[in-house]
Amino acid sequence: MTAAILAFASVVAVSLVSLVGVVTIAMDEARVRRLATLFISFAVGALLGDAFIHLIPGSFEAGTAGKSPMTASLLILAGMLVFFIVEKLLHHRHGVLHDYFHGREPGSRPELALINVLGDAVHNFIDGVVIGASYLVSPTLGVSTTMAVLLHEIPQEFGDFGILIHSGLSVRRALLVNLGSASVAILGTALSLLAASVAQEAVTLTLVPLTAGGFVYLAAADLIPELQHDRSLRALILQTLLISSGIAVMGILTIVE
Q: pLDDT for 91-136, tens place per residue?
A: 655 554 444 444 455 556 666 777 778 878 887 887 887 788 768 7
Band of pLDDT at residue 137, cut at 50, 70 and 90: low
* pLDDT exceeds 80 at position 242: yes
Whether 143 shows a pLDDT value over 50: the answer reads yes
The closest of 47, 52, 32, 57 to 162, measured between CA atoms, is: 32
**Which has more pLDDT, 184 or 167?**
184
Going by pLDDT thresholds of 50, 70 and 90, the confidence category of residue 238 is very high
List pLDDT tens digits, range 194-231.
876 565 566 567 777 887 888 898 889 888 988 888 88
- Per the model's pLDDT, the better-predicted residue between 100 and 16 turns out to be 16
pLDDT (0 to 100) of residue 100:
47
DSSP state of 28: -
CA separation, residue 57 to residues 102, 228, 256 (Å): 40, 29, 16
Give Cα separations from 12 to 50, 59, 129, 164 (angstroms). 22, 26, 13, 22
Task: Provide the mean pLDDT of the chain.
Answer: 78
The pTM assigned to this predicted structure is 0.70
Percent of the chain with pLDDT over 90: 11
Q: Is a pLDDT exceeding 60 seen at residue 53? A: yes
Average pLDDT rounded to a whole number, residues 172-182: 87
Average pLDDT for residues 177-194, to the nearest whole number? 87
Alpha-carbon gap, residue 195 to 34, rounded angstroms: 45
Mean pLDDT comparison of 61-70, 148-157, 221-230, highest-scoring range: 221-230
Q: Of 220, 171, 158, 125, which Cα lies nearest the Cα of 30?
A: 171
Task: Give me the pLDDT at residue 1, please.
Answer: 57
Q: Which whole number is the average pLDDT over 45-66? A: 76
Number of alpha carbons in the 13 Å side-chain half-sphere of residue 17: 23
Which residues have CB under 8 Å from 51's CB, separation 6+? 212, 213, 215, 216, 219
How far apart are alpha carbons 111 and 232 in whole angstroms? 27
Of these ranges, 67-81, 106-120, 147-161, the one predicted with the greatest mean pLDDT is 67-81
Give the model's pLDDT for residue 84.
Answer: 87
